[in-house]
């Protein structure tokens, strides 16, 4: 039986609305929690809010309300965002919970009884933003060494935790437990910090200066330092948020996820507090990096703060989750920019996974009556062997390796998953089931190809669930799978060949529609509805829309030698290439328009073609057509077309221009 798995995020301060940093940590924790549940771990995933302290009190005063009312107003913004991001937390703690307060006071009394808390006069430099005292040697030019904000000198009597007593023990623990602090660079930072003498920790604030906090159990004139209060949430939550107290069941925590800015408080403050309480330390504390936006630090004054609500509304939760964890190694800093985000959606999600699902189900509907055929061909090709090996290795070896708590290589896990996506698309291209379908004696091979393509999707469905849960559910529904993601996946599901033949598939809408780049208005030069193509993702021939007015193919004077004749040099400006149709679907509210995804060898393009009255979309998949590739992009019914498919016909399409022999995608037509 796998060990229980307890994962936490920091509890987020309520003095501001949730931003990309909050979303990043929480999505990462959710991926780990979902993955661990899927592989059989008894899992508890905790997140929540830090509601005490000076910053919260000041924000409430500014809003003209009491602190508790202020916290109650902010809390739904976090809860609602986690719902939109499909966060599957098991507990949501608020430090204003009465039962949390009781555990904090009990911990303080425990430390006091052990003579690990004492009262002393103290003069130091105080940072209001970090709610922390600094010594003279720490402060540089009157600024806090962490946040670089001005500090003020305070002299007051406070209570202190004898943190210095545990310095050597903590250093020894870090040195003996490689995975305790991750990544390695952060571990080295903390060890460097511990080379200097460790000060004792001020754990109280006088009520005369700060009233919003948990009262000390041994002195009612003081409240608890907010960081002591906040850190205790990791153990207090286990006493009252599960259906039954579960401290013995889940502690020590498997992993605390934190931002690099609060590593010291977790690695040093929290660890020494736990030592004082005689409790085991968490197994891993993993500190990730920060996000900038277009190369600049996020700032309200700059207006470049990324709002997760807006990202989810515009692009969907799963696309947002995918980008954040795919773009950079977890632990390093990253830059968020709109163009790379859209690029990932189009290349990886729309042209990759979405295309594989669409074309596979289209082929099964077209050549197997919508049911997964039984593989008939006993001959196993090299590609099929590679598919099986890659899929089983992905589920059994690569994902467990990359998602180990000491690594958290989310980007590499996704890279491995998309290796199978790419292999699945290559398999369809090279086996060409549309060609096999034209040869009756190749029916056993055709059925085998269709089965292996569908089985690839089943393995991908399991692999992506933790990262993109709603996408996995959609693939499951369209593929007719009986997987239950709320329970551990059975060992047999990890083996190649788990898809039952004769399973009914149901093709739905594209799971990731391609996002069209916004084009700037060009006034009179803006492409008109008569413009039938363009270059990155296109439209097609001259009857593409009922709103278009096709010109006659033969006009007066259009004869050899007339003024309308062109030279060979002019003709050579037109770039024609062979393109293989990967997927096709009708454009809503149009009788004629069909949106195609076309393979041009080194790239894929979207083309909108006015051929819907002549051809059914499913009949177009696998066809090799002639594409004009150097037209400017144009939009038809709001959909960008990045090329033009050639066809014969005046008012109505008679036939697509195609080839007598098989031609590789991207071959030049001349």
Give 179-231 as a 3 state SS string. Answer: CCEECHHHHHHHHHHCCCCCCCEECEEECCCCCCCCEECCEEEEEECHHHHHH
Q: For position 525, what pLDDT does the model report?
A: 32
- Percentage of the chain modeled with pLDDT above 90: 69
- Gap between the Cα atoms of 13 and 50, Å rounded: 5
Token pair recorded at residue 608: 């909108």
Q: What is the pTM of this model?
A: 0.77
Q: Note the residue count of the chain.
A: 670
- 588: pLDDT strictly greater than 50: yes
Q: What is the pLDDT of residue 517?
A: 61
Task: Decide if 146 contacts 261 (C-beta within 8 A).
Answer: yes
344-358, 379-393, 535-549: range with highest mean pLDDT: 344-358
At 299, the pLDDT band (50, 70, 90 cuts) reads low
Res 542: pLDDT: 27
Q: Is the pLDDT of residue 445 over 80?
A: yes
Residue 343: which pLDDT band, with cuts at 50, 70 and 90? very high
Average model confidence (pLDDT) across the chain = 88
- The torsion angles phi and psi of 143, rounded to 5 degrees, stand at -115, 145
> How sure is the predictor about 522, in pLDDT bands with cuts at 50, 70 and 90?
very low
Domain with CATH 2.40.50.140 in the chain: 527-550+566-669
Domain with CATH 1.10.730.10 in the chain: 338-494
Give me the pLDDT at residue 546, please: 27
For 570-581, the pLDDT digits (tens) are 787 798 999 999
Q: Helix 167-176 vs helix 184-193: angle between axes, to the nearest 10 degrees? A: 160
Fold of 338-494: Isoleucyl-tRNA Synthetase; Domain 1 (1.10.730)
**CATH code for the domain defined by 5-288:** 3.40.50.620
* Domain boundaries for CATH 3.40.50.620 within the chain: 5-288
Asked if residue 474 lies in contact with residue 511, where contact means CB atoms within 8 angstroms, the answer is yes
Res 128: pLDDT: 72
Confidence of residue 133 (pLDDT cuts 50, 70, 90): confident
pLDDT of residue 304: 74
Position 295 pLDDT exceeds 70 = yes
pLDDT tens by residue, 643-669: 999 998 876 888 899 887 778 888 889
Task: Give the pLDDT of residue 154.
Answer: 78
pLDDT of 508 higher than 60? yes
Residue 235: pLDDT over 50: yes
**437 pLDDT more than 80:** yes
Residue percentage of the chain with pLDDT more than 70: 91
Residue 375 has pLDDT above 80, yes or no: yes
Count of helices and strands (H, E) across the chain = 23, 26
- Tell which CATH classification among 3.40.640.10, 2.30.31.10, 3.40.50.300, 2.40.50.140 matches the domain 527-550+566-669: 2.40.50.140
The residue with greater pLDDT, 376 or 502, is: 502
Higher pLDDT, 143 or 534: 143
């Amino acid at each position: 039986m796998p060990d229980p798995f307890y994962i936490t995020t920091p509890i987020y301060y309520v003095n501001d609305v949730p931003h990309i940093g909050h979303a990043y940590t929480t999505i990462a924790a959710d991926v780990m929690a979902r993955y661990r549940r899927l592989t059989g771990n008894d899992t508890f995933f905790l997140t929540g809010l830090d509601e005490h302290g000076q910053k919260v009190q000041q924000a409430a005063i500014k809003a003209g309300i009491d602190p508790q009312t202020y916290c109650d107003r902010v809390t739904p913004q976090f809860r609602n965002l986690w719902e939109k991001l499909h966060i599957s937390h098991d507990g949501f703690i608020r430090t204003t919970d009465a039962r949390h307060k009781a555990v904090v006071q009990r911990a303080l009394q425990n430390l006091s009884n052990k003579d690990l808390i004492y009262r002393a006069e103290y003069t130091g430099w105080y940072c209001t933003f970090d709610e922390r005292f600094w010594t003279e040697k720490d402060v540089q030019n009157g600024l806090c060494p962490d946040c670089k904000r001005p500090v003020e000198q305070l002299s007051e009597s406070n209570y202190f935790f004898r943190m210095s007593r545990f310095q050597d023990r903590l250093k020894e623990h870090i040195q003996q437990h490689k995975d305790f602090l991750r990544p390695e660079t952060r571990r080295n930072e903390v060890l460097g910090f511990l080379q200097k003498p460790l000060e004792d920790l001020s754990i109280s604030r006088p009520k005369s200066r700060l009233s919003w906090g948990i009262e000390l159990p041994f002195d009612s004139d003081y409240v608890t330092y907010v960081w002591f209060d906040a850190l205790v949430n990791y153990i207090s939550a286990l006493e009252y948020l599960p259906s039954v107290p579960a401290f013995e069941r889940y502690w020590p925590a498997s992993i605390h996820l934190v931002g690099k800015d609060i590593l010291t408080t977790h690695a040093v403050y929290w660890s020494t507090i736990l030592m004082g309480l005689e409790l085991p330390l968490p197994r891993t504390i993993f500190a990730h990096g920060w996000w900038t936006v277009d190369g600049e630090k996020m700032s309200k004054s700059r207006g470049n703060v990324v709002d997760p609500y807006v990202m989810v509304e515009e692009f969907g939760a799963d696309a947002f989750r995918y980008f954040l964890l795919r773009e950079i190694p977890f632990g390093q800093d990253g830059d968020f920019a709109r163009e790379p985000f859209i690029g990932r959606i189009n290349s990886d999600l729309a042209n990759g996974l979405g295309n594989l699902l669409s074309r596979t189900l289209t082929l099964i509907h077209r050549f197997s009556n919508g049911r997964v055929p039984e593989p008939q061909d006993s001959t196993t090709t090299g590609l099929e062997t590679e598919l099986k090996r890659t899929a089983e290795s992905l589920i059994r070896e690569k994902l467990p390796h990359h998602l180990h708590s000491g690594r958290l290589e989310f980007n590499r896990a996704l890279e491995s998953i998309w290796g199978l996506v790419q292999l699945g698309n290559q398999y369809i291209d090279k086996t060409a089931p549309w060609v096999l379908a034209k040869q009756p004696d190749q029916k056993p091979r055709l059925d085998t190809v269709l089965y292996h393509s569908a089985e690839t999707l089943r393995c991908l469905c399991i692999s992506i669930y933790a990262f993109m849960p709603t996408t996995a559910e959609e693939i499951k529904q369209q593929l007719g799978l009986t997987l239950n993601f709320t329970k551990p996946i059975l060992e047999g599901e990890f083996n190649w060949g788990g898809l039952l033949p004769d399973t009914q598939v149901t093709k739905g809408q594209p799971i990731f529609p391609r996002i069209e780049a916004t084009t700037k208005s060009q006034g009179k030069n803006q492409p008109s509805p008569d413009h039938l193509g363009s270059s990155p993702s296109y439209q097609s021939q001259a009857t593409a829309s009922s709103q278009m007015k096709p010109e006659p193919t033969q006009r007066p004077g259009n004869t050899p030698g007339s003024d309308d004749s062109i030279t060979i040099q002019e003709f050579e400006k037109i770039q024609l290439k062979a393109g293989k149709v990967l997927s096709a679907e009708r454009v809503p509210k149009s009788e004629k328009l069909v949106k195609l995804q076309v393979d041009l060898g080194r790239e894929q393009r979207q083309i909108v073609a006015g051929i819907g009255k002549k051809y059914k979309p499913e009949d177009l998949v696998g066809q090799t057509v002639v594409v004009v590739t150097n037209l400017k992009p144009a939009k038809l019914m709001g959909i960008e077309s990045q090329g033009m498919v050639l066809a014969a016909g005046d008012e109505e399409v008679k036939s697509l221009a195609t080839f007598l022999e098989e031609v590789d995608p991207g071959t030049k037509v001349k």
